[in-house]
Amino acid sequence: MSQKIQTKLNDSAHICQVSNHQLTPCGYHDSRVYCEFSGITDDLLESNSDRFHSFMPPSKGATELAKLFCANYPPAGSWYLVKEQRLWFKESLKQRLIAHTADTPFQLLIAGVASYVHALGQLLICAQAQRELQLSFKIQVTFSDRCSFPLEQIRAFLKAAEATPFFRYSFEVEDKKFKCPKALDKLVRDFHKELNDISVQYQLGDLTDSSLFPNEQFDLVSEHFMTSLLYKNFEIIKPIRANYSAWLKSGGWLFSADGIRADSEVYTDFAALNADVGLVLDDSSTTPVWDPYGLPQEVFQAILDSAGAKRYPVENDNTMSGFVKQ
């Protein structure tokens, strides 16, 4: 089989260019803006005692997911797509919100963003947590990326959603018009009040730049698949993690989806790398999960070709990790 879907995406990630006031997106961000939106609600994998290996049996949900991944533009990943990742992030976030005793807003940094579709998935999880907890304080979210294109998408979408709480949201960036995926549009309407209550800010810059944010600004940093995007290059990753440590308040947390198997030597070294910069792994929060972007494209085509008659092996090679600043 060919390489993983995520690896192909990583190869297209560069830096969006601006020339003569005209933005030219990199291949990665140019493809991600057209992503569909979906959140898996079924348990697609078989239950077993093996934490790292499972099978995807035939099911309506598996077929629907395969259709999404065989379309022109696959669904946005981030924390929202996979049920296990979405629930882990929401429940972990709720714990941090409950522990937040200050009257000041809860400060969340979302480090790196693929598109407005991915960003809204994270904002919707925040909105759901806010509704469930009936918070008395605000959540303030800062999106940061080295490319301006995804940040401008989020800004334009939220402005359109705030001004027009009706079907169907659309917005423009660089004279291009984009329409919100219908599934996302519906959820944005359902959580319109909570989304409007979240304060959103933007910061253009490279996460290796220690001056990007003041020290001890954030209660939580969220990072999804940055390690994969950087090809697990620890020489690049360590300065970024050191910056997270500096930007987090004492006792602040980093939630990351690492794309590394939790039982591997690489993950042991990765945990040590984080500890070196003051981010200590909380073992109780470490959870192995699967991710459809870790599968080759042929798996989804095979599901459709077999009319859902076969089961396929799936590896839980992504790890939900919680690190706390000591």
Rounded average pLDDT per 10-residue block, the chain, 326 residues: 55 64 78 91 91 93 94 90 96 97 94 94 97 95 94 93 71 88 91 94 96 97 81 85 97 94 93 97 94 89 85 92 96
Q: Give the residues across from 64 on adjacent strands.
A: none
Answer whether 144's CB lies under 8 Å from 212's CB: yes
* Strand runs labelled E in 225-276: 248-257
pLDDT at 8: 56
Supply 193's token pair: 């009040």
pLDDT at 48: 84
- Label the pairing between strands 248-257 and 279-281: unpaired
pLDDT at 32: 87
pLDDT at 169: 78
pLDDT at 105: 96
pLDDT at 97: 98
The residues, ordered by sequence, that sit 6+ positions from 55 with a Cβ below 8 Å of its Cβ are: 45, 46, 311, 312, 313, 314
pLDDT at 22: 74
pLDDT at 77: 87
